[in-house]
A = this chain, B = another copy of it.
Amino acid sequence: MGATIALDAMGGDFAPANPVAGAILAARELGSRVILVGRQDEIERELGRHGAPDSSLSVVHASEAVAMDEAPAMALRRKKDSSLRVAANLVHEGKADALVSAGNSGAVMATAVFVLGTVEGVDRPALAAVVPNLRGRSVWLDVGANVDSKPQHIHQWAVMAHIYSRNILGIEQPRVGLLSIGEEAGKGNDLVRETFKLLKESGLNFIGNVEGHDIFNGNADVIVCDGFTGNVSLKVIESATQTLFHFLRQEFARSWRTRLGYLLSRPAFKGFKKRTDYAEFGGVPLLGVRGATIISHGRSSPRAIRNAIRVAGEVVDHRVNQQIQDEIRKGSHGVQTVTA
């Protein structure tokens, strides 16, 4: 019996159209069970546009929606009947196993932590980006759930990502690297040097400091860093690649020869897109929160939503958060909590 996913149907730049279309894709292609949460009339109108309703999709009404630019704390305090809040409640009440939202990511994090609570032994949840590398996929965290982080937090994240890499990506002994500005043990800022010591003693397969290039070359399976560095770098990459492809498109447009070249090359660009498009990766898991929460890009396409639902199901089926709790409770990997 697969997982049931509570989908924030009003979350994202193209809601409810894309969340609803994504849920339909997930139901038809993956057999997912999805509860669409949001304004019932709007959701049903969207469902109607796609033909016969699917028996694995249901709707739960919520009267409000959190805006993309709304302050998370305000959304949490004031919008008790938002689609996001009601979806999180469904997970809390055991009516759903996981929460998926392409909405305001700060509000999704705040709501998930408030309603669902953190996994026992985890002080701070973290956002884990799963990125393609030359050999497979790496798990990189924290990419934005936290601003000021302590060495113990980063140590906990290493354990969480190690379990994600092992259980979801099937990597038996994930190599854990600490993101820094040089590979030698002493290199880095104070936070990195302190964290290095904890990871070295942890019993994890810690390979030491890694640098920015190791995120994509496959030299590490898990890369940990503080949430500020992770978030800034992730956005820098997103923007750098967009700008590069913008330049490339301009160059292709310069002559008939290169335009023809582009037409012939289209399958290559399509294949490339499939390999690197965030839509294929299905959102970013918020690790360390009870149940399972997947945050999708605000501009998520139906396909991105479908894949986020798929990833949410995998996190539930592989009992990722339960494993995190068990391994931390057992004292595996030498984790210490800050708020003991």
A residues near B, CB below 8 A?
106, 132-134, 144, 147-148, 179-182, 188-190, 192, 211-217, 225, 227-229, 231-244, 246-248, 251-252, 254-255, 257-258, 260-269, 271-272, 275-276
Listed by A's residue number, 10 A-B pairs whose Cβ atoms lie within 8 Å are A147-B181, A147-B188, A189-B228, A212-B239, A215-B236, A229-B233, A240-B240, A257-B267, A258-B264, A260-B264
CA distance A234 to B181 in the complex (A): 10
Bound together, the chains give a CA A269 to CA B266 distance in angstroms of 15
User: Known contacts A147-B188, A262-B265, A268-B258: does B243 contact A133 (CB below 8 Å)?
Assistant: yes
Q: In the bound complex, how far is the Cα of B261 from the Cα of A274, in angstroms?
A: 19
Q: Which residue of B has the minimal Cβ distance to A218? A: B243
* A212 CB → nearest B CB, Å: 3
Residues of B within 8 A of A214 (CB): 239
Cβ of B216 and Cβ of A239 under 8 Å apart?
A: yes
| Chain A interface, >50% SS class | helix
Let me know if B254 and A267 touch, CB within 8 A.
yes
On whether the beta carbons of B232 and A213 are closer than 8 Å, the reply is no
Q: Which of A132, A269, A271 has the most CB of B within 10 A?
A: A271
Indicate which residue in B211, B216, B232, B238 contacts A225 across the interface (CB closer than 8 Å): B232
Out of B106, B237, B243, name the residue touching A134 (CB < 8 Å). Answer: B243
Q: Is the CB of A231 within 8 A of B181?
A: yes
- What residues on B are CB-neighbors of A182 within 8 Å? 106
Q: Which one of B231, B255, B265 contacts A258 once the chains associate, using CB atoms below 8 Å?
A: B265
Q: Are A251 and B229 interface neighbours, CB within 8 A?
A: no
Q: Which residues of B contact A133 (CB under 8 A)?
A: 243
- Cα distance A263–B265 in the bound complex, in angstroms: 10
Q: Which of B179, B190, B276 contacts A244 (CB 8 A)?
A: B276
Whether B252 pairs with A233 at a CB distance below 8 angstroms is no
**Contacts A147-B181, A228-B189; is A265 near B236 (CB within 8 Å)?**
no
Complexed CA–CA distance, A275 and B254 (Å)? 14
Q: How many whole Å from A210's CB to the nearest CB in chain B?
A: 10
Partner of A235, one of B106, B212, B228, B269: B212
State the CA gap A266–B247 with chains docked (Å): 14
Residue in chain B with minimal CB distance to A71 = B184
Q: How far in angstroms is the closest Cβ of chain B from A258?
A: 4
Q: Which residues of B contact A189 (CB under 8 A)?
A: 147-148, 228
User: Please, how many angstroms separate the alpha-carbon atoms of A276 and B248 in the complex?
Assistant: 10
A180 pairs with B261, CB closer than 8 A: no
Is the beta-carbon distance between B225 and A247 smaller than 8 angstroms? Answer: no
| Closest chain B CB from A334 CB (angstroms) | 25
* A216 and B232 contact, CB distance less than 8 A: no
In the complex, what residue of chain B is closest to A255 when comparing beta carbons?
Answer: B267
